[in-house]
Structure 1
Amino acid sequence: MTTAPKRRPGLASRGEDLRGASLRLTLQFTALMLVVLVLVGGVVFAIVSASVAESASQALAAATRLDSPDDAPDGTYLSVVDDERVMSPRNLPAGLLDTAAIATVAAGGGDVTGTREIDGHRYRLLTTTVAGGRGGTRVVQVALDQHESAEELERLTVALLAAGLVALAVSGIAAYWMARRAIRPLADALALQRRFVADASHELRTPLTLLSTRAQLLRRRDQTGLPPDVTEAVDEIVTDTRTLTGILEDLLIAADPRSVADPEPVDLTETADQAVTLLGGEAAGRGIALQRAGATEPVTVPGSPSALLRLIVALVTNALDHARTSVVVHIGVDGRYATVRVADDGAGFAPEIVDTAFERFSSGRAAAPAASGVTRHYGLGLAIVAEITRRHGGTIAVESSGPTGAAVVARLPLARP
């Protein structure tokens, strides 16, 4: 029995990315087309409506010059007041004659316009005075049936809607096809990058783990009789492997945007406590008091637990590198956002590099001397923090900086209840 070949995860991911990006571009273009069609349709409908209204006004004015009610065309009803008698056509709909308007005009008032609706038909009325046959004036009232005009506007509305739907469907299909063609090279490049990230993760983590394990085993052996420089070199190897592992993790997070895919509820209070616990020994070894302040109740945000832990660890690590005596991790809530504030009492950021502190390979503060015992970093920590914050829909900023210390604050959207 033969089995179907399994689909490679990279190809599946590439197809999903391509389809998703194409659909997003298609929806955006279709929404733009919808706005354009609505505007064009509105303008066309307004022009036609104005034309219909102007035609109705001209028809009413022309009907007032007729001599007899029987001369009015179909759909137009002329009533004439002659010697206080009102002459109306025999087919005048009941209730259409506006006697109040006639009385107003006959008493010397100005022209009266209005509308009436009878038996589902809408009529437009004009009551005015015109020159009579014997040099005087007479009062006339013209009623124009607008049923055909209303049906014409309804047909125009249906035609515009039908044409708009067809145009939207055609534009949507065309936009999706063009978007796939345009995005395919980018999707191929992204798939290649992800394969490289996966390969680098596998190829680099394994030897680094083995190197770190062997160095730690070597450091635990009896070092009696070994020269001091050898012992020191072993310690440096252990430290350097940890640094390389951290840099590798940072690079992988920066290179693979799927690190925060499928967000889940994350308690920042618990995550901060975990970060403080992880770095407590390092802080104590440097003589720095690492404290956790702020919220004690859960502060929940949607995201990746590992990425958010990395965010807080990177902030605390950066603060430890520059603190004199203390670092404080504060978790709080500000409106619809959770805040992670990490403050230290070090020298602070120089004013000229505050704006570039979160760029890659940017040295945020003066580098520590090699003999200070502080692990050297390579300008990725705060850049990774900014990247993780951005992928979680938040913001990162230097809140304060000066000779008495610095504070970096990350704001993340709270989980919806």
Structure 2
Amino acid sequence: MTRDDRAVLRRAWWRSVVQIAAGTTAVLLLTGGVALLLVNDHQSENLDAQLAAVLARADDVADPPPGSYLARAGPDGTVEVTPAAPPGVVAVLTAAANGTVDRRDVDTPEGTFRLGTSDRRTGRWVIANDLAALRTDQRRILQAVLLAEATGLAAALAAAALLSRRSVRPLAEALELQRRFVADASHELRAPLTVLYTRAQMLAARPAASADPDLAAGLHGLVTDTRALGEVVDDLLVAAELDRRPDRDHVVDLDDLADAVVAGTSAHAASRGITLTHEPDPGGPHPVNGHAVALRRAILALVDNAIGHTPDGGHVRITVTATAGSVALTVADDGIGIDPGRADELFDRSRHGDHGTARRFGLGLALVREIAHNHHGTVTADGAPGRGARFTLSLPTSPASNRPT
């Protein structure tokens, strides 16, 4: 499984976990909030009922229930208040008995009190109950609800992680099966394509073919198409097996790989009137850790892309330079160029340009980016329309102790 595949699976897993967790959190908060409101309302109603019961049976103000204070306004207008009542409560009870306070909950210097009134034949009775005990009970209930929600959320996250992993597993298996199928199919296609390419070359080289211009052109097209089809198979095989290479950490020299690509592609470039060169850096060699076949394939794809988008008589140059901690291989051409604003799109799968004769679709440049990512590097494109293009493959430098001798 490639680095991009793992990134896709991680994003799918995290997205699933976040969605399940967000949904569970919303349900828990809504349920807890509604439950807390219902409990608080029930407690408040019970307190009102208790105060009303005290007022109904009170016969004096001297012996109220704990946490409560009584007052009575007699028919003559005199107000009696529980002797132990604090000054602030006395003032509130007196005002309520005289009818100048009609609020349910009143703040005093001694705290917040719930008021209850009852008009009886013996006068107007008022009770003030300290809400500290009710507030304490409500805080305890809130803490219990929050603890229950936190526990439920933790359990939901664990369940979400497990369920998401199970739901993503079939996707991982599908990606692996797809990659294995592509690798097997590519292996099976490589041999017959090699035979077909060889036979096409042999037919094109026969004197009889040279004597017939139409036949020669057809055979030349067959050779070219067979070669292009073989490159597609090679791209598929490298992409499918890229992450399973056992020797990906071997030290390879990008200068050597560039020389090998130039040697194998110069004839093709020359047939189109294009000069392909590799300009060695005197500061070489330039070793990197990686898989030689995959990296060579990446360089070949960049060169093939440059050749296909450079007119006859043009030049394609490969340069390898060392920077701080990395090696940069650049393939530059003086061809039709690219739009800088759409440079990143060139590395998307199935993306192709509007001009040129080389393959600019399928795996091509997308494979280069995948190989670069798999080797902890990058690939960038730069240029301008009509002024050529520069593709730069940057890879981490191999440790000095592992440099080839």
TM-score range, shorter chain: 0.5 to 0.7
- After TM superposition, the score normalised by the length of structure 2 is 0.55
Of the three residues 187, 190, 200, the one matched with 1:201 is: 190
Task: Name 2:84's counterpart in structure 1.
Answer: 87
Cα distance 1:171–1:39, how it changes in 2: closer, same or farther (>3 A)?
A: same
Task: Name 1:346's counterpart in structure 2.
Answer: 335
Shift of 1:142: 3.6
Of the three residues 280, 290, 302, the one matched with 1:315 is: 302
Task: Name 1:34's counterpart in structure 2.
Answer: 21
* Cα distance in structure 2, aligned partners of 1:158 and 1:28: 26
**Quick one: which amino acid aligns to residue 260 of structure 1?**
L
Cα distance 1:407–1:341, how it changes in 2: closer, same or farther (>3 A)?
A: farther
Task: Name 1:274's counterpart in structure 2.
Answer: 257
* Cα distance in structure 1, aligned partners of 2:13 and 2:170: 12
* Cα distance in structure 2, aligned partners of 1:79 and 1:300: 90
Q: How does 1:80-159 map to 2 (within 5 A)?
A: 87=84, 102=89, 111-112=106-107, 126-127=112-113, 141-145=130-134, 149=138, 152-153=141-142, 156=145
Alignment length (residue pairs) = 347
**Quick one: which amino acid aligns to residue 355 of structure 2?**
R
Cα distance 1:163–1:382, how it changes in 2: closer, same or farther (>3 A)?
A: closer
* Cα distance in structure 1, aligned partners of 2:251 and 2:109: 67
Residue 261 of structure 1 pairs with residue 243 of structure 2: yes
CA contact (8 A) 2:322 2:328 kept: yes
Shift of 1:171: 7.1
Of the three residues 380, 389, 395, the one matched with 1:407 is: 389
CA contact (8 A) 1:331 1:340 kept: yes
SS of the aligned residue for 1:197 comes to: helix
Shift of 1:37: 1.2
Shift of 1:165: 6.8
Shift of 1:344: 1.5
* Cα distance in structure 2, aligned partners of 1:266 and 1:21: 27
* Cα distance in structure 2, aligned partners of 1:256 and 1:34: 39
**Quick one: which amino acid aligns to residue 127 of structure 1?**
F
CA contact (8 A) 2:70 2:125 kept: no
Of the three residues 359, 367, 376, the one matched with 1:387 is: 367
* Cα distance in structure 2, aligned partners of 1:339 and 1:257: 22
SS of the aligned residue for 1:87 comes to: coil
Of the three residues 233, 258, 265, the one matched with 1:251 is: 233
SS of the aligned residue for 2:355 comes to: coil
Cα distance 1:302–1:160, how it changes in 2: closer, same or farther (>3 A)?
A: farther
Shift of 1:279: 1.3
CA contact (8 A) 2:262 2:278 kept: no
TM-align CA RMSD: 6.4
* Cα distance in structure 1, aligned partners of 2:279 and 2:130: 87
* Cα distance in structure 1, aligned partners of 2:30 and 2:109: 26
CA contact (8 A) 1:105 1:127 kept: no
* Cα distance in structure 1, aligned partners of 2:228 and 2:318: 21
Task: Name 1:290's counterpart in structure 2.
Answer: 277
Structure 2: any 5+ residue segments left out of the alignment? 2-6, 56-60, 72-78, 96-100, 400-405
Percent identity of equivalent pairs? 14
SS of the aligned residue for 1:365 comes to: coil
CA contact (8 A) 1:265 1:303 kept: yes
SS of the aligned residue for 1:402 comes to: coil
Of the three residues 365, 372, 389, the one matched with 2:355 is: 365
Per-residue deviation, residues 54-83 of structure 1 (Å, max 9, x unmatched): 4455556666665569665xxx73245887
**Quick one: which amino acid aligns to residue 87 of structure 1?**
A
Cα distance 1:163–1:291, how it changes in 2: closer, same or farther (>3 A)?
A: same
CA contact (8 A) 2:187 2:237 kept: no
Shift of 1:41: 0.8
Structure 1: any 5+ residue segments left out of the alignment? 1-12, 14-19, 89-98, 116-124, 220-225, 368-376
* Cα distance in structure 2, aligned partners of 1:401 and 1:195: 40
CA contact (8 A) 2:382 2:390 kept: yes
